[in-house]
Each structure stands twice: as structure tokens, then as C-alpha cells.
Amino acid sequence: MEKVLASANEAMERKYDLESRGFTLDKTAARVAEVLGMKPEDVWAQGRYCHIVEARSLLCYWAVRELGITMSSIARRLNISVPAVSKSTIRGEKLAKDGKYLLAG
């Protein structure tokens, strides 16, 4: 039980730290573009091109898991369904771990 509480506390501290540093969904999208070497507007682009899917997946992962933004608000912003955001979040987690990408140091 203590491990669960410690983990939740750590996640909340990380979220507030990122918020205090000014991380919003738009700033997170800019960070995604930076680490993947693309233009920030490409992160918001529609389509199933590999680089766009990767960018949106990483965005979903960081937004949901790091910033605590709801999947429904991300779905509206990206014009996709909530289940699509959920799948993207899982893909984004794998991408972040494999590429050792961090939202902020």
C-alpha cells in the first residue's frame, strides 16, 4: 500500500513541477517536435504517416501520463476518439522508453 501511495505522490509532484515550468499541451507538442526532429505544426497534422503517428503518440503519452490531461480533451484537440488516444498513449510510452525521450530533464 505504501508503494502505491509513494508512486501516486511522485506522479503528482512531477505533474506540478511540469506545470510550474510552464508545460502546456502546446509546449509539450513543441518538445515532441524537438526530440523527433520535425516542425511543431506536424505534430498536430492529420494522417497515418509513420512520423505523424509517432509524434501524436508521444504527445498523448506525455500529456496523459506526465501532465495529467484527460484523454477526452486530447481527443477533441487531435480530432480523434478517446480509444485512439488510449492506444496512442501506449505506443507513446514504448516510443519514449525505446528512444529514451524525456519531456523535461
Residue 90 in domain? yes
| pTM recorded for the entire structure | 0.85
Distance CA 55, CA 96 (A): 10
Instruction: Decide if 103 is inside a domain.
Output: no
List the grid coordinates of 61. Answer: 503519452
Identify the CATH number of the domain in which residue 79 sits. Answer: 1.10.1750.10
Place of cell 477533441: 76
Residue 50: give the domain boundaries: 2-97
pLDDT, tens only, 54-93: 999 999 999 999 999 999 999 999 999 999 999 999 999 9
Terminal CA-to-CA distance of the chain, rounded, Å? 29
pLDDT at 85: 97
Tens of pLDDT, residues 5-54: 666 667 677 766 667 677 899 999 999 999 999 999 999 999 989 999 99
The number of domains in the chain is: 1
Q: What are phi and psi of 41, to 5 degrees?
A: -70, -25
> Under 8 Å CB-to-CB from 56, ≥6 apart: which residues?
43, 78, 88
